Amino acid sequence: MKALTSELPQKTKAAVLMKPMQVAMEERALAGLGPHDVLVKVMAVGVCGSDVHYYEHGRIGRKAVENPLIQGHECAGLVVQAGAEVTQVKIGDRVAIEPGMSCFRCEYCKAGKYNLCPSVRFLSSPPVDGAFAEYIVHPDHLLFPIPDHLSYEEATLVEPLSVGIHACRRAGLEAGSTVLIAGMGPVGLTAIIAARALGAENIAVTDVEPFRLGLAAEMGAKLCVNVLERDTAEAIAQWTGGRGVDMVIDTSGHAGVIDSSIEWLKRGGKLVLIGFPAAEKVPLNLTLLLQKEIAMYGTFRYTNTYPLGIELLASGRFDTKKLITDFYSLEDTALALERARTNKKGSMKVIVYPNGKPSND
Ligand SMILES: [Zn+2]
Ligand SMILES: [Zn+2]
């Protein structure tokens, strides 16, 4: 076994969700390293909407937090120790961490759809512990070195950006398409980057928060519709000369938005679903969907997106620092979750630093 220093940690401090709205600091033993495992010093973790949802409600749909859970899956860190057969990264590498540990043996994994693996273990998805911890042990093939000029904070954005990349790829987004992206949370905002990277420059967005719509314009959205002030159908009709958009990507999960998307799309358009609706069943105008021959794509997480995600964030083409608004220590993880939960008007990505805030910025 190779190591960065002679004194390696046996334990890690972690922020643990004990029950809804209650987070406690605990010391946890670190698992020993298998031959392909890597010990990563976690340097930055983004708070995800799903973290906030589990924190607030203790469950998402049928998935519940039954035992104390370490949250956090949007993470980046430093490789400090590597198992005997690790070849993909080396000690001292700064890495983005892909959170989904699929089996890579089942039908879905073999077909390249490892996001659908029935036995996937995904950081912070109960009962699997996540990354609000000083250290985690993670398989080497899910670690992706990042260039020196890309900060750990920005590298955490590869995770939400991956969702948009996967959605655009899965639905076959073509260069030159007109795209409407509904919901300007971190996934919606980074989906603008994904769509632009794949060649769509005419991007419209919707939200209710002026702060979020302003960020969307900075990411390159050409039409930003505040749905409290303007009718989306009318705005889209005007913007596309009555034709409708080629693709709608919904990140809001809002039932009314999903249904209305069928009207906003051109004939033969594509409806791409990312956001989870509050209720499992959503009424849709299927008659119109059939008449317009709309294709609907359910999407879930992502596959093979990290190399492109890192390249896009490192390119300097998008001012993604603007998406990162709040910073907390590991001890203040509860405050970070609370901030993300309550400050929709002024916070976007909230970052937790499990090993303290870096001094260089
Ligand atoms: Zn996430
Ligand atoms: Zn599998």
| Mean pLDDT calculated for residue range 145-162 | 98
Residue 359 pLDDT grade (very low, low, confident, very high; cuts 50, 70, 90): low
Question: Is residue 3 scored above 80 in pLDDT?
Answer: no
Residue ranges per structural domain of the chain: 2-159+303-353, 172-298
The CATH number corresponding to 172-298 among 3.40.50.2300, 3.30.1360.200, 3.40.50.720, 1.10.760.10 equals: 3.40.50.720
pLDDT digits (tens, 9 = 90+) for 321-345: 999 999 999 999 999 999 999 999 9
Cα–Cα distance between 279 and 233 in angstroms, integer? 24
pLDDT digits (tens, 9 = 90+) for 161-174: 999 999 999 999 99
Cα–Cα distance between 116 and 102 in angstroms, integer? 9
Cα–Cα distance between 225 and 207 in angstroms, integer? 7
Q: What CATH code is assigned to 2-159+303-353?
A: 3.90.180.10
CA of 195 to the centre of ligand 2 (A): 28
CA of 303 to the centre of ligand 2 (A): 12
Question: Is residue 2 scored above 60 in pLDDT?
Answer: no
pLDDT digits (tens, 9 = 90+) for 62-86: 889 999 999 999 999 999 999 999 9
Give the pLDDT of residue 61.
83
CA of 70 to the centre of ligand 1 (A): 14
Element (H, E) at 158: helix 158-170
CA dihedral of 323, 17, 15, 140, whole degrees rounded to 10? -70
Cα–Cα distance between 317 and 294 in angstroms, integer? 32
Identify which ligand lies nearest to the alpha carbon of 130. 1
Identify which ligand lies nearest to the alpha carbon of 112. 2
Describe the chain by its helix, strand, coil percentages, rounded to 5.
30, 30, 40
CA of 163 to the centre of ligand 1 (A): 9
Give the pLDDT of residue 1.
56
Question: Is residue 6 scored above 90 in pLDDT?
Answer: no
CA of 122 to the centre of ligand 1 (A): 11
CA of 255 to the centre of ligand 2 (A): 31
Question: Is residue 293 scored above 70 in pLDDT?
Answer: yes
Give the pLDDT of residue 8.
81
Neighbours of ion ligand 1 (CB under 5 A): 48
